[in-house]
């Protein structure tokens, strides 16, 4: 006897909307882009390692290719030299794609208000969730990811087909 039959008893049929089923699928297996820039990347690695274990949220598989990933975690400061590369990686990702800006530098430039740093990665790509901290604790990153999950669960059918920029 499997889990489903023990939970459903004799019901046999589950009804749900397509939106709910697809959004559930998208949140349950979101593959992030293996993309680290600076200090926050080290905390991102900690989040994926033994103690915090990001795979609990279906995210253990980091893809090094943007073509295979759904979520870009911008972990660290984006410099003016790196900005075109970040934009190109974003363009290469297939829809639906999401961006999480991790840390103060990626969100707003942080402590570096100077000639070298892009003052927030949202100047070059659209951002879905911002996570504050310098660097954010793994718990904060996990909270940011769960916030993104909540947001995805509220997406509607017409948003998928109208090709809204994601």
Partner 1 sequence: MVMTVPESQQGKAIESWQGQVEELRGLVSERAMTGETLLLNMGPHHPSTHGVLRLLLELDGEEIITCLPDVGFLHTGIEKTIESKQYEKGVALTDRVDYLAPMNNNTVFVMAIEKMLALDVPERAQVIRVICLELTRIQSHLVWLGTHALDMGAMSAFLYCFRERELILDMFEMLSGQRMMGSYIRPGGLWRDLPDEFLPALQHFVDIFPRRVDDYEALLVNNPIWRDRTEGIGVVEPEEALALGMTGPTLRASGVNWDIRKAEPYLTYPRYDFNVPLGEHGDVYDRFWVRMQEFRESIKIIKQAMKNIPGGPVRSQNRKYVPPPRAELGRSMEAVIHHFKLWTEGFSAPDEEVYVAIEGPRGEVGCYLHGTGGTKPRRVHLKTPSFMHISALGKMSQGHMIADLVGIIGSVDIVLGDSDR
CA dist list (Å): 16 to 8, 19, 20, 22: 14, 8, 7, 10
CA angle 124, 80, 91 (to 5 degrees): 35
> At how many degrees (to 10) do helices 18-28 and 138-153 cross?
160
| Candidate ranges 22-30, 33-41, 119-127, 145-153; the one touching partner 1 (CB under 8 A) | 33-41
16 φ, ψ (degrees, to nearest 5): -155, 170
Asked if 89 interacts with partner 1 (CB under 8 A), we say: yes
In angstroms, the CA 106 to CA 99 distance is: 11
- Shortest reach from residue 16's CB to partner 1, in Å: 36
Selected from 4, 21, 42, 94, the binder of partner 1 by CB under 8 A is 42
81 binds partner 1 (CB under 8 A): yes
Is 135 a residue that touches partner 1 (CB under 8 A)? yes
Among 3, 64, 158, 161, binds partner 1 (CB under 8 A): 64
* Selected range binding partner 1 among 1-9, 133-141, 142-150, 152-160, rule: CB under 8 A: 133-141
Instruction: Pick one of 6, 10, 15, 50: the residue that binds partner 1 (CB under 8 A).
Output: 50
């Amino acid at each position: 006897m499997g889990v489903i039959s023990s939970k459903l008893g004799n019901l046999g049929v589950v009804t749900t909307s397509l939106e709910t089923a697809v959004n559930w699928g998208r949140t349950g297996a979101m593959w992030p882009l293996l993309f680290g820039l600076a200090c926050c990347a080290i905390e991102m690695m900690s989040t994926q390692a033994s103690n915090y274990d990001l795979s609990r949220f279906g995210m253990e598989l980091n893809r090094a290719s943007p073509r295979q990933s759904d979520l870009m975690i911008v972990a660290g400061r984006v410099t003016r030299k790196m900005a075109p590369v970040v934009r190109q990686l974003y363009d290469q990702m297939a829809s639906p794609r999401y961006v999480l800006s991790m840390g103060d530098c990626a969100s707003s430039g942080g402590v570096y208000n100077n000639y070298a740093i892009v003052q927030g990665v949202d100047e070059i790509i659209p951002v879905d969730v911002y996570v504050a901290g310098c660097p954010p604790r793994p718990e904060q990153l996990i909270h940011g990811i769960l916030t993104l999950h909540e947001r995805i669960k509220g997406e509607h059918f017409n948003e998928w087909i109208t090709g809204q920029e994601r």
